[in-house]
Amino acid sequence: MIHALIVGASQGIGLGFVQYLLQQQTTAQVYATYRSPSSAGNLLAIADDRLTCLPVDLTDETQIEEAIAHISRTTSCLHLVVNCVGLLHDGDLQPEKSLRQINREHLLRYFEVNSIGAILLAKHLLPLLSHGDRSVFATISAKVGSIGDNYSGGWYGYRASKAALNMFMHTAAIEYQRKRAKTILVTLHPGTTDTRLSKPFQRSVPPEKLFSCDRT
């Protein structure tokens, strides 16, 4: 039976993972985190004894520790962790089109949400991923975080924070392999998915390349 943790499950891809897992008879328990109750209505409305919802702001290490401590009191192991937290735009914070638009505070925010939170998860989840069964820790990344694939420029903060995420997780995967050989760490590019994150940029996406959360 699978014990899973979905981080950033209030909507979009994260909520899709929760719904899928709860449809599986092999799922024993799903832990799902959300940052704000105001945006987690669909998640909190799910009535299933196998679902535990936890408030977590991934930029706050104390909240990460408290959530994992709560999980540890109910289970000794996790088999699947998926981190779906990501930031592309938020009010005045928008992807930059030129160097003139770079803002120090916005850059720090990108890295806090898209990069640092994931590696803090890897740090604190180590005990729950230390067991005899195979386990997977997956983090949603993005193709635009690839240095070699960057031909169009722009989106400085988002690109750089996703590139940092990829390096963080690659490095953590090496350490996990030494200590926990049955745990796989991986970053995933989900394609352009119809979520709030991609909504302002969907006009340039061909219909066949815009995926639903279920397809993703």
Q: What is the pLDDT of residues 171-214, one digit of tens each?
A: 999 999 998 989 999 999 876 655 555 556 546 555 555 555 56
Top-confidence residue, 107 or 213: 107
For the ranges 104-113, 121-130, 194-203, the lowest mean pLDDT is seen at 194-203
Task: Give the pLDDT confidence score for residue 196 in this predicted structure.
Answer: 59
Query: Which CATH number goes with the domain that contains 199?
Result: 3.40.50.720
216 found inside a domain? no
Q: Please give the structure tokens belonging to residue 26.
A: 């092999």
Determine contact, residues 101/209, Cβ cutoff 8 Å.
Answer: no
Tens-digit pLDDT profile for residues 141-153: 998 888 888 988 9
Q: Number of structural domains, the chain?
A: 1
CA pair distance 74, 56, nearest whole angstrom: 18
Task: Give the pLDDT confidence score for residue 82 in this predicted structure.
Answer: 98
Determine contact, residues 11/196, Cβ cutoff 8 Å.
Answer: yes
Burial of 54 (0-12, 13-18, 19+ CB in 10 A): middle
196 found inside a domain? yes
DSSP state letters, 128-195: GG-SSS-EEEEEE--GGG-STT--S---HHHHHHHHHHHHHHHHHHHHHHHH-TTEEEEEE---EESS
**Which whole number is the average pLDDT over 71-95?**
96
Task: Give the pLDDT confidence score for residue 44 in this predicted structure.
Answer: 96
150 found inside a domain? yes
The DSSP bridge pattern shows strands 27-34 and 2-7 to be parallel
Task: Give the pLDDT confidence score for residue 99 in this predicted structure.
Answer: 97
pLDDT-derived band at 123, boundaries 50, 70, 90: very high
Task: Give the pLDDT confidence score for residue 143 in this predicted structure.
Answer: 87
**Which whole number is the average pLDDT over 128-151?**
92
118 found inside a domain? yes
Find the domain containing 188 and state its range: 2-211
83 found inside a domain? yes
The pTM score is 0.89
